Structure 1
Amino acid sequence: MTSSRIAIAGAGLGGLACARVLQLHGLDVTVFEQEPAADARPQGGTLDMHADTGQIALRTAGLHDKFRELARPEGQQMRALDPHSADAVVDEIPAEGDDSRPEIDRGQLRGILLDSLSPGTVRWGRPVAEVTTTGDGARLGFADGAVEEFALVVGADGAWSRVRRALTGLAPEYSGVTFVELGFDDADRRHPVLAELTGQGSMMTKTGGRVLFAQRTSNGHIRCYAAFYAPEPVRPGPADLLERYAGWHPDLLRFLREHDGEFAYRPLYVLPVPHAWTTTPGLTLLGDAAHLMPPLGVGANLALLDGTELATALATAPSVGDAVRAYEAGMLPRSIETAKACASGLHDLLSDDLRSMAA
C-alpha cells in the first residue's frame, strides 16, 4: 500500500501494537498520547495473554520472545475461596508446560511495545482535542491550536475516545457495577496471609452480589478488586467498603483493611452492544474505543489483536479504504460476540457460584 501518514490516538497496548507492525512494514505512523510521559501513572495489574488472541498478536509484532522472558506461567493458578471460611473451593494449578494464558504485568508489556518503536514515534503530552474528516482522510486538532492531516486516524484512545465521538457519537454507559482497586507491596513479606490466600496467580471469593478478586503481579505485589452492584457510580470509603463485606472471614477482610495507600474507584462503563458503524474514510477504532466491555480477561488481548490486524491490512491492502473495510469486517463481528459474552460473564462473576470464574 502506498499511503501518507497514519495517526494513532492513544499509547495503550492496542495503539502501540498497531504502530509496531506498521513500522515493521515501513509505514509512516505517529502516536499521540495525552499523558506527559510513559511513567506518568501506574499501569494497573496483571494480564493473561491468550494463545489464540494476544499471543498471536505478539508474534505478528515480533515480540513474543520478549514477552516470554517476562511472562509468568505459574500466574495461571486460579483459586476460589469460600467467603465465610476462606477455605479453597477450587484451586486450579497450571500443568507443566501450560502456556495457554501466562500472566504479565500490564506495565511490563507496555514497556516491551514502547521499546520496539522508533524514537519519537510517541508524542507525549499531545491530547487530541478535535477530530474531523476531510473526505479522503482526517484532521486532528490539538489543544494548542495546531492542526495535522492524515490518511487515517486510528482511535486507540480508550473508554472516552474522541475519535469514537467523531465516528459513531456513542458514549459508554454505566454498567451497574463498581470496582474499587487496592494495592499491596511486597506481599510475601508484609502481607503473608494475603499472599497465601492469593497463591501464585489469582484468587476470587464472592457472595450476595459482592466479589473480591486478587491478582499476584511481579515482584511479589498483589492487586485486589472489590466489585459490587450499585445503582449509580459510588465512591465508598474504607469503612463503607468494610460494611458492605460484613460477615466475611476476617482474613479476607484484610484485603480491605491492609492496603498500602492505594484506593482507586473504578465504576464500570461499557459500550452498547452491538457497537458498530459504517466504514468512514479517514477514521477507524480499536480496543476499548471500539468495544469497551467488562474487564473479564479479554480486553487487552482483543486490543492487541485489533492493532496488529489493522496494521497488517494497511500494509497489504491496495488502499487505506480497502484496508479499513477488511479490518472492520473481521473486528466488528468478533467484538460484538465477545461483548455479549462479557455482559453475561459479568453477572456470572457476581453470582454466588464459586465455581464460576468469569474473571
Structure 2
Amino acid sequence: MRRRIAVIGSGPAGLTFARVLHRHGCPATVFERDPAPDARAQGGTLDLHEGLGQRALDKAGLLEEFQALSRPEGQAMRILDTDGAVLRDWRPHPGERANPEIDRGQLRDLLLGPLDVQWGRGVTHVVPGSRDGVQVHFADGRRETFDLVVGADGAWSRTRPAVSSVTPHYTGVTAVETSLDDVDTRHPDLARLIGDGSMAAYGVNRALVAQRNSGGHVKVYAQFRAPLDWHTHLDLADAGAVRASLLALFDGWAAPVLDLLGHGTAFVHRPLFVLPVAHTWTHVPGVTLLGDAAHLMPPLGAGANLAMLEGAELAESIATCPGDRDAAVRAFEEQMWARAGRWAKITTSGLERLVSPDPATALAFFDELQPA
C-alpha cells in the first residue's frame, strides 16, 4: 500500500499537523498504537497559549470551537508554603484568554474530526532511504511505504532513531501522579484550597501540585529529587504503600496540603526525562519529528504548545510548497530547532528552580512569569 504522508502518533502534535493538512486538501494517515480514542486516559489539562497552541488551532480553523470548550478560569494559580499559608493568588481578569485550559481528551476529540486515523497500529521502527520511499514497520508485522513520515510519537519515539541516535535522559526529578474525583462535593475543603485553576506548594527539593480538570476532576503531582530507582522497595501497584511512602517524604507539611495525597486512590510513577537542550539532527529526506519526539523538555506548559504550532507550521509549509517538499521540511526543521532550543533552556532552568534546595527560587520563578 502506498500513501504519501504518514503521521506516527495521535497526540497534539500529530493531530494538529494532520488537521491543518486536511484543511489545505492534503491527505495524511495517522497511525496510533492505542486501540481506540478512549482506550486510556489522556492525562491532565493543558493551558494553550495565545501565540502558540491557540495560534495552531486558528490555523486549523478550530479556534472558536476551542474557546467554547476551554476554561478561562483555569488560568488561576495559587502558591502556598509548606505550612499551608497562601503566598500568591493570581486570578485571570474578566475576559482574559491568554492561556485558558482544556482537558487533553477534549483537545484530542476536537482535533480528530474527519481525520484518517488507524487505531491499534503500533510502529516498531522506520527505515528511510529505500528506493520507493520511507518504510514504516508495524507491530503486526506489516510494512508500508510513504513519501514522508512525521514522527509525533512522544518521548520514546520509534521514529526518532531514523534521524537521531540520541535518547532521553533522567532529570533527577520524579513525579508521582494521583487524582481526586468529584472534588467539589466529596472534598470541598480541598476544592477551596486549590481554587479554580492550579495550586502548588514548594519545599526543599520537593513540591506538591494540584491542577483542576473539567468535571470536578483534579490531578495531583508529588514532585521530588530522587534516584531513578527510588521505588525499588515499593510495589507501585499498592496504592496504600505508595501513599504512605509519599506522606513520609512530605512529613511536616500542613495537613490540608497532605490531604491531596491522603485522598488519592491510585498512583502513577512518572520520572521526568528530557532530550538535550540543543537536540538537532542531520536532515534525512522523507522523515522528520515533532513535539516530544524532537525536543522533550520539562513539563512546564511549553511542550504541547510548541508541538501544536510546529505541526501547523509544517503542514502549511508542505501545503504551500508541493513542488519541493523536502526543502520545505528542511527549512521547517531549522526554524523548529531554534525556537525549541530557547524554550528548552527556559523549562530546564525552571525545573531546577521549582524543585530546588531553596523554595524561594520557585516563588521567584512564578513572580517573573506574571505580567508587569
- Write the distance in 1 (CA, Å) between the matches of 2:365 and 2:28: 39
- Select 2:87's aligned residue among 71, 86, 89: 89
Task: Trace 1:292-303 onto structure 2 (pairs within 5 A).
Answer: 292-303=296-307
- Select 1:123's aligned residue among 118, 125, 133: 118
- Select 1:276's aligned residue among 246, 269, 280: 280
For residue 140 of structure 1, what is the aligned residue in structure 2? 136
Q: CA deviation at 1:339?
A: 0.7
Aligned length: 352
Q: CA deviation at 1:87?
A: 1.6
For residue 329 of structure 1, what is the aligned residue in structure 2? 334
- Write the distance in 1 (CA, Å) between the matches of 2:114 and 2:167: 31
- Write the distance in 1 (CA, Å) between the matches of 2:301 and 2:147: 33
- Write the distance in 1 (CA, Å) between the matches of 2:137 and 2:3: 18
Provide the identity percentage.
51
Q: Answer whether contact 1:50 1:102 (CA < 8 A) is retained.
A: yes
- Select 2:246's aligned residue among 241, 244, 249: 241
Q: Deviations over 1:79-129 (max 9, x none)?
A: 001111x12110001111111011111111111001x223xx110000111
Q: Answer whether contact 2:70 2:100 (CA < 8 A) is retained.
A: yes
Q: CA deviation at 1:179?
A: 0.1
Task: Trace 1:61-80 onto structure 2 (pairs within 5 A).
Answer: 61-80=60-79
CA distance 1:4–1:32, change in 2 (3 Å): closer
For residue 350 of structure 2, what is the aligned residue in structure 1? 345
CA distance 1:176–1:183, change in 2 (3 Å): same
- Write the distance in 2 (CA, Å) between the matches of 1:232 and 1:356: 28
Q: Answer whether contact 1:19 1:117 (CA < 8 A) is retained.
A: no
- Write the distance in 1 (CA, Å) between the matches of 2:45 and 2:125: 33
Normalization by structure 1: what TM-score? Answer: 0.95
Q: Answer whether contact 1:178 1:233 (CA < 8 A) is retained.
A: no
Q: CA deviation at 1:144?
A: 2.4
For residue 24 of structure 2, what is the aligned residue in structure 1? 25
Q: What letter corresponds to residue 10 of structure 1 in structure 2?
A: G
Q: Deviations over 1:227-255 (max 9, x none)?
A: 00012243361111111100000111101
For residue 257 of structure 2, what is the aligned residue in structure 1? 252
For residue 198 of structure 1, what is the aligned residue in structure 2? 194
Q: CA deviation at 1:28?
A: 2.1
- Write the distance in 2 (CA, Å) between the matches of 1:357 and 1:43: 28
Q: CA deviation at 1:220?
A: 1.4
- Write the distance in 1 (CA, Å) between the matches of 2:329 and 2:207: 40
Q: Deviations over 1:174-197 (max 9, x none)?
A: 110000011000100101111111
For residue 310 of structure 2, what is the aligned residue in structure 1? 306
Give the 3-state SS of the residue equivalent to 2:25 in structure 1. coil
Give the 3-state SS of the residue equivalent to 2:102 in structure 1. strand
- Write the distance in 2 (CA, Å) between the matches of 1:16 and 1:263: 29
- Write the distance in 1 (CA, Å) between the matches of 2:289 and 2:339: 14
Q: Answer whether contact 2:3 2:145 (CA < 8 A) is retained.
A: no
For residue 113 of structure 1, what is the aligned residue in structure 2? 111
Q: Deviations over 1:311-351 (max 9, x none)?
A: 11110113220110121121011111111111100011113
Normalization by structure 2: what TM-score? Answer: 0.92
Give the 3-state SS of the residue equivalent to 1:62 in structure 2. coil
Q: Answer whether contact 2:35 2:120 (CA < 8 A) is retained.
A: yes
Give the 3-state SS of the residue equivalent to 2:285 in structure 1. coil
Q: Answer whether contact 2:177 2:270 (CA < 8 A) is retained.
A: yes
For residue 13 of structure 1, what is the aligned residue in structure 2? 12
1:54 and 2:53 matched:
yes
Give the 3-state SS of the residue equivalent to 2:345 in structure 1. helix
- Write the distance in 2 (CA, Å) between the matches of 1:123 and 1:356: 46
For residue 237 of structure 2, what is the aligned residue in structure 1? none
Q: Answer whether contact 1:349 1:356 (CA < 8 A) is retained.
A: no
- Write the distance in 1 (CA, Å) between the matches of 2:114 and 2:255: 48
- Write the distance in 1 (CA, Å) between the matches of 2:99 and 2:214: 16
- Write the distance in 2 (CA, Å) between the matches of 1:355 and 1:220: 27
Q: CA deviation at 1:21?
A: 0.8
4+ aligned runs moved over 3 Å, structure 1:
233-236, 356-359
Q: Answer whether contact 1:209 1:350 (CA < 8 A) is retained.
A: yes
CA distance 1:41–1:312, change in 2 (3 Å): same
Q: Answer whether contact 1:234 1:267 (CA < 8 A) is retained.
A: no
For residue 101 of structure 2, what is the aligned residue in structure 1? 103
- Select 1:215's aligned residue among 211, 215, 236: 211
Query: Unaligned regions of 5+ residues in structure 1, if any?
Result: none
Q: What letter corresponds to residue 8 of structure 1 in structure 2?
A: V
For residue 158 of structure 1, what is the aligned residue in structure 2? 154
Q: CA deviation at 1:4?
A: 6.0
